Chain A
Amino acid sequence: MSSAADPGTGDLRPSAGPGTAAVPVLPEAPAGRADARPAVPRAAGRRGAASAWRARFEIAVLVVPALALFVLFALVPMVQAIYYSLYRWNGLGPLDEFVGAENYRTALTDEVFLSAIGHNFTLVVLSLAIQLPLGLGVALLLNRPLRGRTALRLMIFVPYVLAEVVAGVIWLLMLQPRGVVDAILQTFGLGWAQQLWLGDQRIALYTLFVVLTWKYIGFAIILFLAGLQGVSPDLSEAAALDGASWWQTQRRITIPLLGPTIRIWAFLSMIGSLQLFDMVWILTKGGPGNATQTMATYLIQQGFDRGRLGYGTAAAVILFVISLVVALLYQRFVLSIDTADERAATRKGR
C-alpha cells in the first residue's frame, strides 16, 4: 500500500525504509527517520562490489519464484481475458469469431449489468456509511477495561472466521418465509415487521447487506483494535489530566491517530464490495428479478450458464478496470495522506 520504492540506494537493510502505513506514526517519527538516512550510501560503499552482487543474488532468489507465480497466475490470465473478451465464443471449439469491442458495448448498454454495477456501488457506500461507525464504536468500547472483554472480542470475530458458504447457508435457512428470523420477530411482538427477506425485490439487497455486515464487522473491529494498540495511553492520560472527557479524548486524539488503519480498512472494504460474489451466490443467485445481481454474479451467469465465455470475460475485464480505477483514485487522494510524511522525509534525506 505504501510507496515501497526507495530508488537509488540499492540498500537492503530490513529495518529501514517505509512500508508501515498501517501503523500509526507519531509526529516525531519522520524527523528521526530522516536523520538516519545519510548514513546509508556510505555503508554500501564500504561493503564493496562483492556484497552488491550478493545483494542482487539475494533479490533474485527471493523475488523470482513469487514473480513467476504472479506472472503465471495473474498477468497471463489477465492478458488472455482481454484477448477472449474480443471474441464471440461459447467456450467450445476454436476462437474464430472476432467481434472487437462489441462485447463491451453490449455489456455497457445492458440494463442488468448496469444495475449490477449500481448494486456494487450501493454496497460500497452502505459499507462505509454503516460498518465504519459501527465497527469503530465497538472497537472503542472494547478497548476500555471491561469484564469479559476477551470473550466479547472472540464472539465478535467468530462470524468472520466462519466459512462464507457455511454462514451463507445458515442465513439462507434463517431467512426463509416463516423461518427463524420471522419466528424471532413474532416472539418479540414484531410480527408486522416480517418480510420476504430474500424474496422481495425491494429489500433483498438490504437483507444481503445486513448479512455481509454481520459477517465482516468482526474484521473491521479487529483491525481497529490492533490500530488502537499503537495509540499510546500516555496521550489519553495527559488529556484526562487536562480535563477532557472520554468522548473528547476519542474524538480529538484516538480517532485521528487511528486514521491510517481506518483508511486501509475502507480500501479493503471497497474492493471487497466491488468484487462481491460468494454470499450473493448462496443467498439469492442475483435474484429475485436481478435485484441483487453484482458484477461478479452477472459475469459467471453469462459466461457459464449462458455459455457466452467471450461476453462474460468482457464483463470481467470491466469489473477489473472499475476496481483498478477506484483503487488508484483512492491511493492518489486518500492513502497518500499516510505516505505524505514519508515522501517528505525521503526528499529531505536526499
Chain B
Amino acid sequence: MSITRVRRALVLGATVALLAACGGQGGAGSDEDAEAGGDVTLTWWHNGNNDPLLSYWQGVADDFEAENEGVTIEVEAIQNEDLRTRTQVALQSNDPPDVLPQWGGGELADQVEAGALMDLTDKIPDTIEALGGSAGGWQTEGKTYGVPYSLGVGGFWYNKALFDQAGIAEPPATMDEWFEAVEKLKAVDVAPVAVGAGDKWPAGWYYYYAATRTCAPETLETAQLEYDFTDPCFIEAGELVQQIVDAEPFNEGFLATPAQTGATSSAGLVGNGLAAMELMGHWNPSVMADLTPSKEGLGDDLGWFPFPEVEGGEGNASAMGGGDGFSCAAGAPDICAEFLAFIVNEDNQRGFGATGAGLPTLPAATDSVEDPNMQTLLAARDEAEYVQLYLDVTYGPNVGGALNDEVSLLFADQSDPQGIVDAMTEAAEAR
C-alpha cells in the first residue's frame, strides 16, 4: 500500500538479521576500563520510568557514586515492555548494559547457559545470605546470578466502593464466593473484572493462579524442572479458567484490552472506577494511579485479596508471585556486584519499601512498608507455604509464551484445557 511501508518492512527485516548477526560474539571490553585503574562507568537499565521509582533509583545511583570515587553510573529508565525486548536484544549484542533487569526463572537459566551473566555467588556472599529464600528464583544449579530487590505476590485488586454498592460484604475467599460476587456486580451494572487479554500474559495469569491452586507444590516443582505437565491438575486448572471465561465476568472488548497502557487498559479501567477488580501483581497500585487524571488512583477504596481457594485444591496454601531484580552482564566490571549489594542493603531496601512501589526482599527491611494493602500482600507472601514464581517466568520465554498464547486463545473461545497442556508440552519438546 505504500513505499514507506515496504521500505520500513525491509529495514525491519534487515535490522532483525543484523541484530542476529551480532549475536554470539560475547561481551568484553568494560573489564579493561576497570583494570586501567580509576574511573569506571556502569550502565544501568531499569523499568522505573515513572516516579516514585525514577527519582528513587537516581538517588541510589548518586549515593553509590558519592561513596565510590571514580565510579559513574549511567542510568537509563525504560518502559517495562520495551525494556524486556531491549534487554533481550542487548544480550545478543556485544555491548549489553552492565546492570540489567532480571526477572529470574527460565529466562535467567537461558541467559546463564549462554554465558551472558556474572556469577555473584562468591562475590557478594553476605548479601545473598541476608536475602535468604527470596533469592531462590535468581539462582540456578546452586549459583546466584541476580539479586531481587522486590518480591511480591499477585492477587485481585478491587474497588471497595463498588463491592459495597453490589452488596458484597467480604472479599471472596473461595471460587464459589467469587462467582457469586461476579453475579452481584453484574446485577448493579458494573463490569466485574478487567483483564488485559490483548497483552496475552494477563489472560495467562488466570491459568497460572488456577494451577497454583489445583496443583500440589511438588507437582509444580517437578513441572518446572522436567517440563512434565501430565498431572491431571494441569487439566483441572484449564477447566477452572474455562469456567471463569464462561461466566463472562470481563470488561467489554477484553480480547483487545491492553494491561497497562492508557486509561482504557485494564489497570486504567479499575483505577478509574469502571471495573471492579483485576488479577494483577503487586505493582498495580502505582500503575493504576498513573492512569487516572488525578494521579491518585482509588486511594482508600483500593483493596486486595488473594486468588480464592478451590474446592479440593492441593495448592490452596500456596501463593504465586514474582519479583524484580538485577543481574550483572558477564563482561561488567567487578564493582558491578558491589553495586547490586548496595541496591539491596538495609538502608536502600527500607528506602525502597517506603516508596510503596514494591515489597522489599530483605527480611530486615519489611517493616518499612507502610501502605496497608502492601502489608496485606506481604503477610500473604510470608504466610504462604510455598511461593511459586509466575509460570511464564519459570518456564522461560518459549514454553511460557506458548502458555500465554494458548490461554488467550481459550479466552477467545478457540482452545480448551487440553489445548493448553498440549501447547506447553509441544513447546517444551521443541525447546
Residues in A lying within 8 Å of B, measured CB to CB:
73-74, 76-78, 80-81, 84, 88, 90-95, 106, 127, 131, 160, 164, 173, 176-179, 196, 198-201, 204, 212, 215-216, 219, 268-269, 271-273, 275-278, 284-285, 287-290, 296, 300, 303-309, 312-313, 316, 320
Chain B: which residue is nearest A84 at the CB level? B20
Asked if B397 is at the interface of the complex by the 8 Å CB criterion, the answer is: yes
Q: Which residues of A contact B264 (CB under 8 A)?
A: 173, 176-177, 179
Chain A binder among B10-18, B303-311, B383-391? B10-18
B254 is an interface residue with CB less than 8 A from chain A = yes
Q: B212 at the A/B interface (Cβ < 8 Å)?
A: no
B108-136 near A? 1/0 per residue, CB < 8 Å: 00110111100000000000000000000
CB-based contact B116/A296 at 8 Å: no
Q: Is the CB of A77 within 8 A of B14?
A: yes
Set B92, B110, B401, B412: member contacting A305, Cβ < 8 A: B401
One of B1-9, B32-40, B289-297, B315-323 at the interface: B1-9
CA gap between A296 and B197 in the complex, in Å: 21
Which residue of chain A is the closest to B397 with respect to CB atoms?
Answer: A307
Which residue of chain B is the closest to A283 with respect to CB atoms? B256
Q: How far is the CA of A318 from the CA of B111 in the complex (A)?
A: 29
Question: Could you say which residues of chain A place their CB within 8 Å of the CB of B16?
Answer: 81, 300, 303, 312-313, 316
Nearest residue, chain A, Cβ from B201: A305
A262, B85: Cα distance in complex, Å: 40
Knowing A199-B252, A273-B1, A287-B408, the reply to whether A91 touches B13 (Cβ < 8 A) is no
Is B88's beta carbon under 8 Å from chain A? yes
Segment 415-431 of B: residues with Cβ below 8 Å from A: 427, 430
Residue pair B110, A90 in contact (C-beta under 8 Å)? yes
A173 to B252, CA, bound (A): 15
Given A77-B14, A80-B20, A303-B16, answer yes or no on A269-B255 (Cβ-Cβ < 8 Å): no
Task: Let me know if B2 and A219 touch, CB within 8 A.
Answer: yes
Cβ A77 vs Cβ B115 within 8 A: no
* CB neighbours of B111 from chain A (8 A): 92
Once the chains are docked, how many angstroms separate the CA of A177 from the CA of B92? Answer: 40
Give the docked Cα–Cα distance between A276 and B401 (Å).
23
Evaluate whether A199 and B253 lie within 8 angstroms (CB atoms) in the complex, with A77-B21, A304-B85 already known: yes
Residues of B within 8 A of A77 (CB): 13-14, 17-18, 21
Residues of A within 8 A of B349 (CB): none
A107 to chain B, nearest CB (A): 12
Contact status A287-B114, CB under 8 Å:
no
Between A and B, 25 residue pairs with Cβ closer than 8 Å are A73-B14, A74-B10, A77-B18, A90-B110, A91-B20, A92-B92, A94-B24, A177-B253, A199-B252, A201-B412, A212-B1, A268-B1, A272-B5, A278-B8, A287-B200, A287-B255, A287-B408, A287-B412, A288-B198, A300-B16, A303-B16, A306-B398, A306-B401, A307-B88, A309-B20
Q: Point out the residues of chain B lying under 8 angstroms from A219, CB to CB.
A: 1-3
Determine the distance from Cα of A320 to Cα of B17 in the docked complex, in whole angstroms.
13
- Report yes or no: A92 in contact with B91, Cβ–Cβ below 8 A: yes
List the B side residues contacting A269 at CB < 8 Å: 1-2
Determine if B193 is an interface residue (Cβ-Cβ < 8 Å): no
B352-401 CB contacts (< 8 Å) to partner A: 396-398, 401
Closest residue of chain B to A313 (Cβ to Cβ) is B20
The answer to whether B3 and A268 have CB atoms under 8 Å apart is yes
Q: Please give, as numbers and ranges, the residues of chain A lying within 8 Å of B199 by CB-CB distance.
A: 285
Q: A316's contact among B1, B5, B13, B408, by CB below 8 Å, is which?
A: B13
Does B167 count as interface, using CB distance less than 8 angstroms?
no
Q: Which chain A positions have C-beta within 8 A of B233?
A: none
How far does the Cβ of B51 sit from chain A's closest Cβ, in whole Å? 24
Give Cα A177 to B257, complex, Å. 10
Contact of B6 (CB < 8 Å), options: A176, A198, A204, A271: A271
Q: Are A199 and B14 in contact (CB under 8 A)?
A: no
Which residues of chain B are near A199, meaning CB under 8 Å? 252-257
Report the minimum CB–CB distance from A1 to chain B (whole Å): 12
Does A88 contact B256, Cβ atoms closer than 8 Å? no
- In Å, the complex CA distance between A200 and B402 comes to 22
Compute how far the CA of A176 lies from the CA of B261 in the bound complex, rounded to whole angstroms: 13
Q: Which residues of A have CB within 8 Å of B110? A: 90, 92, 307
Apart from A95-B24, A276-B1, what are 8 other A-B pairs with CB-CB below 8 Å? A78-B17, A81-B16, A160-B2, A178-B252, A275-B9, A289-B255, A304-B89, A307-B88
A272-B1, A303-B16 are contacts. A92–B114 as well, Cβ < 8 Å? yes
Q: Which residue of B lies closest to A175 (CB)?
A: B256
Chain A: CB-nearest residue to B402: A306
Point out the residues of chain A lying under 8 angstroms from B116, CB to CB: 92
**Contact across chains for B1 and A307 when beta carbons are under 8 A apart:** no
- A307 and B408: CB pair below 8 A? no
Determine the distance from Cα of A81 to Cα of B427 in the docked complex, in whole angstroms: 22
Q: Does B211 contact A (CB under 8 A)?
A: no
Bound-state CA distance A94–B24 (Å) is 5
Which one, A127, A178, A288, A312, contacts B1 given CB within 8 A?
Answer: A127
* A74: B residues at CB distance < 8 A: 10, 14
B6 engages A272 (CB within 8 Å): yes
Given contacts A91-B23, A92-B111, whether A277 and B253 have CB atoms under 8 Å apart is no
Q: Which residues of B contact A90 (CB under 8 A)?
A: 110, 397-398
| Alpha-carbon distance A287/B200, docked complex (angstroms) | 9
- CB within 8 Å of A: which of B160-191? none
* Cα distance, A1 to B12, chains bound together (Å): 23
Is B48 interfacial (CB-CB < 8 Å)? no
Give the docked Cα–Cα distance between A164 and B92 (Å).
28
CB of A91, distance to nearest CB on chain B (Å): 5
A residues less than 8 Å from B200 (CB atoms) = 287
Which residues from 202 to 261 on chain B have a C-beta closer than 8 Å to any C-beta of chain A?
A: 251-257
Whether, in the assembled complex, B328 has its beta carbon less than 8 Å from a beta carbon of chain A, the answer is no
B262 at the interface (CB under 8 A from A): yes
Collect the chain A residues with CB atoms within 8 Å of residue B89's CB.
Answer: 304
Q: State the CA gap A92–B330 with chains docked (Å).
A: 13
From A163, which residue of chain B is reached at the shortest CB distance? Answer: B4
Does B409 have its Cβ within 8 Å of any Cβ on chain A? Answer: yes
Which residues of chain A have C-beta atoms less than 8 A from B251's C-beta? 177
B262–A173 CB distance below 8 A: yes
Cα A173 to Cα B115 with chains together (Å) = 43
A177 touches B198 (CB 8 A): no
CB contacts (< 8 Å) of A178 on chain B: these are: 252
Count chain A CB atoms within 10 A of each CB in B13, B200, B427, B430 and give the residue with the most: B13
Chain A nearest CB, measured from B257 CB (Å): 7
Of B85, B257, B427, which is in contact with the most chain A CB atoms at under 10 Å from its CB?
A: B257
Return chain A residues, CB-CB under 8 Å to B17. Answer: 77-78, 80-81, 84, 313, 316
On chain B, the residues within 8 Å of A304 by CB distance are 85, 88-89
Known: A269-B1, A284-B198, A288-B412. Is A93-B24 also a contact (CB below 8 A)?
yes
**B18 near A305 (CB under 8 angstroms)?**
no
Q: Assess whether A278 is in contact with B430, with CB atoms less than 8 Å apart.
A: no
Question: How far apart sit A343 and B306, CA to CA, in the bound complex (Å)?
Answer: 76
